[in-house]
RNA sequence: GUCCCUAUCGUCUAGCCUGGCCCAGGACACUAGCCUUUCACGCUAGCGACGGGGGUUCAAAUCCCCCUGGGGACGCCA
């Protein structure tokens, strides 16, 4: 069996969105799982809509997800010569012809077909006119007749009628640039692509491309058409649903591992297993696990997967990430401190943005700390302040500000005063964090440090009463 | 309009190919309880689906047909 080669061929007319990322992931996994190679190819034959910025954005997205490629990124705009050679070949072999019908004329043909209740298509007017190259001339493919059949990697045995699916579509624009169907087939053949996994919106292109493979005499690759991803309203994923760039999810505080795990489970399964490491995926991925029905993008589930990865990640891996998100909040801290903070939030944060926001009080200047009025009102009533003042005195005299020392001292205090622990915990918590919730009190105090803790308690004591 | 794809809990899915082990399993979400210094985590329990109708069969989520629902494609876009 020849070496497996897959590819991901986005057009640089937009960012790498959720659907594209999943397609890329499936192709990458298929290649890796079979010891094959993965090609990245930028389909920019539509010069009017393609931009270099988008090419970069796609590359960034792939890199973030950890989808590396063995060849490319190739730019189709660099390969016009190759496409033209193939077009000449098709012209010479009688599989293609020149056409001077105007777009308006073609529109009229399609409209007529629509009215007649058949598939709108070019009617072949120029097929036998033997036109040559010229101003305003396109090159059209001579559509074959008969049945087109293949065994889809996802859908199983498929067959379509060439007559129905393929008209004499344009191979080369009057402006001289090649069109999608021609360029993909030429490239895939030229790059030795053996397996093509793509969205099922390409299903109707398949007969066109198969016809081209046949006309060109190239070996047929395997095709697999994965279903679409919908938004929560069962509509095609669009900007309204957050079918944003995958990089937008990075901004929202999602981990790439979580994104990959979520994406792969959207349309692929392996028994009841939910969590897969990259290595496991490479080991376990098969086309057989691919689903044939569409799925919906669910941010809640992505979030829970992300929370899982935050819990499981080593502290060292999260420290630089936390620093990056803190920076967005205008905060910074050295890694030693962050390494103490991260474990406190691993069970609590669902995104890195959340982690940064929630731990911000550790890093703010004491004067900068804002107190939540509701928390103050509820937990810093006069009676609570009296206790808080005593706790402050107690802590002032504490030499060692470790978790264990704090626990010992505070417990003794509570017992001696015959208080419930909750009666000191909440006032202290609000005093040092500004809010009514935080990680455990001893850890929070210990990580915050004696100086800051005392200063904040002092400040809390002087807060206006209402 | 024409052609194509598709149909299991709210969502992602297992099971379907090779009918019986499925009065359908897991995960997320949700609800309740436990744990508890807050918020989380964790643990336990609960809620919750084979779209409808015909067949085939001793037996159908699984096979066949029809209907309905959902989606996609019909470009000098990719």
Q: How high is the pLDDT of residue A1? A: 66
What does the pLDDT average to over A121-128?
90
Nucleotide nearest to A407 (CA to C1'): B37
CA gap A175, A138 in Å, rounded: 8
Tell how far CA A71 is from the center of its chain.
22
pLDDT at position A241:
57
Dist CA A443 CA A441 (whole Å): 6
Q: Is the pLDDT of residue A243 over 70?
A: no
The reported pLDDT for the residue numbered A201 is: 93
Share of chain A above pLDDT 90, in %: 82
Residue with tokens 């308690």: A457
Q: Which nucleotide is nearest to A236 (CA to C1')?
A: B71
Q: Give nucleotides in strand B with any atom < 7 A to a protein C-beta.
A: 1-8, 10-15, 25-29, 37-42, 70-78
Is A252 buried (19+), middle (13-18) or exposed (0-12) by CB count in 10 A?
middle
Known active-site residue A239: yes
pLDDT digits (tens, 9 = 90+) for A51-78: 999 999 999 999 999 999 999 899 999 9
pTM of the model: 0.94
Q: Which of A6-15, A114-123, A422-431 has the lowest mean pLDDT?
A: A114-123
- Among A3, A112, A235, A239, the active-site one is A239
Residue, of A318 and A131, whose pLDDT is higher:
A318
Give the pLDDT score at A171: 97
pLDDT at A463: 80
How far in angstroms lies nucleotide B25's C1' from the CA of residue A267? 19
At residue A239, the pLDDT reads 59
**What DSSP designation does A217 have?**
T
User: Nearest CA to the C1' of B13 belongs to which residue?
Assistant: A269
- Backbone φ and ψ of A262, nearest 5°: -65, -45
ipTM here: 0.94
A73 cis-preceded (ω within 30 degrees of 0): yes
Mean pLDDT value across residues A307-319: 97
pLDDT greater than 80 at residue A238 = no
pLDDT at position A464: 84
pLDDT at A265: 97
Distance A158 CA to B64 C1' (A): 18
- In this complex, the nucleotide whose C1' atom is nearest to the CA atom of residue A179 is B76
pLDDT of residue A188: 98
Cβ-based neighbours of A350, under 8 Å, separated by 6 or more:
A303, A304, A306, A307, A310
Looking at per-residue confidence, does A41 or A114 come out higher?
Answer: A41
Length A436 CA → B33 C1' (Å): 24
Gap from A335 CA to B33 C1', Å:
41
**What's the whole-number mean pLDDT along residues A135-144?**
95
Average pLDDT of chain A?
93
| pLDDT of A149 higher than 60 | yes
Interval A172-231: pLDDT, tens: 999 999 999 999 999 999 999 999 999 999 999 999 999 999 999 999 999 999 999 988
Give, in Å, how far the C1' of B68 lies from the CA of A207: 29
The pLDDT, as a whole number, for residue A142 is 96
C-alpha neighbours within 13 Å on the C-beta side of residue A266: 27
Measure A88 CA to B36 C1' (Å): 77
Q: Who's near A279: CB < 8 A, 6+ residues apart? A: none
- What percentage of chain A carries pLDDT values higher than 70? 98
pLDDT in tens, A376-407: 989 988 888 999 999 999 999 888 899 999 99
Closest nucleotide over all strands to A438 (CA to C1')? B39
Interstrand relation of A37-42 and A71-75 (parallel, antiparallel or unpaired):
parallel
Q: Which residue is nearest to nucleotide B8 (CA to C1')?
A: A293
- How distant is C1' of B34 from CA of A76, in Å? 62
Q: Please give the nucleotide, over all strands, whose C1' is closest to the CA of residue A117.
A: B1
Distance A11 CA to B77 C1' (A): 10
Axis crossing angle, helix A352-363 with helix A315-328, rounded to the nearest 10: 80
Q: Which nucleotide is nearest to A181 (CA to C1')?
A: B78
């Amino acid at each position: 069996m020849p070496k497996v080669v897959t590819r991901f061929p986005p057009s640089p007319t937009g960012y790498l969105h959720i659907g594209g990322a999943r397609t890329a992931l499936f192709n990458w996994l298929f290649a890796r799982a079979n010891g094959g190679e993965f090609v990245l190819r930028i389909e920019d034959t539509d010069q009017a809509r393609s931009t270099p910025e988008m090419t970069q954005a796609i590359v960034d997205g792939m890199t973030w997800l950890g989808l590396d490629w063995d060849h490319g990124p190739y730019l189709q705009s660099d390969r016009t010569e190759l496409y033209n050679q193939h077009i000449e070949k098709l012209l010479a072999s009688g599989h293609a012809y020149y056409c001077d019908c105007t777009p308006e004329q073609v529109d009229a043909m399609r409209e007529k077909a629509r009215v007649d209740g058949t598939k709108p298509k070019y009617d072949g007017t120029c097929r036998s006119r033997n036109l040559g190259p010229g101003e305003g001339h396109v090159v059209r493919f001579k559509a074959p007749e008969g049945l087109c059949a293949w065994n889809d990697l996802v859908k199983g045995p498929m067959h379509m009628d060439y007559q129905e699916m393929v008209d004499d579509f344009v191979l080369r624009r009057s402006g001289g640039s090649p069109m999608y169907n021609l360029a993909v087939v030429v490239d895939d053949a030229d790059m030795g692509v053996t397996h093509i996994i793509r969205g099922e919106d390409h299903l109707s292109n398949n007969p066109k491309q198969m016809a081209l493979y046949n006309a060109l005499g190239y070996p047929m690759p395997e095709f697999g058409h994965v279903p679409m991803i919908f938004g929560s309203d069962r509509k095609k994923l669009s900007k309204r649903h957050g079918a944003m760039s995958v990089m937008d999810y990075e901004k929202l505080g999602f981990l790439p591992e979580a994104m990959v795990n979520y994406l792969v489970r959207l349309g692929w399964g392996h028994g009841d297993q939910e969590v897969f490491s990259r290595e496991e995926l490479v080991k376990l991925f098969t086309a057989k696990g691919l689903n044939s029905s569409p799925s919906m993008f669910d941010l809640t589930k992505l979030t829970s997967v992300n929370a899982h990865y935050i819990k499981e990640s080593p502290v060292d891996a999260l420290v630089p990430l936390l620093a990056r998100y803190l920076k967005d909040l205008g905060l910074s801290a050295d890694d030693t401190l962050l390494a103490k903070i991260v474990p406190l939030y691993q069970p609590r944060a669902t995104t890195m943005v959340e982690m940064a926001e929630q731990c911000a009080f550790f890093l703010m200047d004491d004067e900068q700390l804002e107190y939540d009025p509701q928390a103050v009102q509820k937990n810093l009533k006069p009676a609570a302040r009296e206790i808080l003042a005593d706790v402050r005195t107690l802590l002032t005299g504490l030499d060692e500000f470790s978790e264990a020392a704090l626990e010992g001292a505070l417990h003794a205090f509570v017992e001696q005063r015959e208080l419930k622990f909750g009666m000191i915990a909440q006032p202290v918590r609000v005093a040092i964090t500004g809010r009514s919730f935080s990680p455990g009190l001893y850890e929070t105090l210990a990580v915050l440090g004696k100086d800051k803790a005392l200063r904040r308690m002092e400040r809390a004591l002087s807060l206006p009463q209402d």
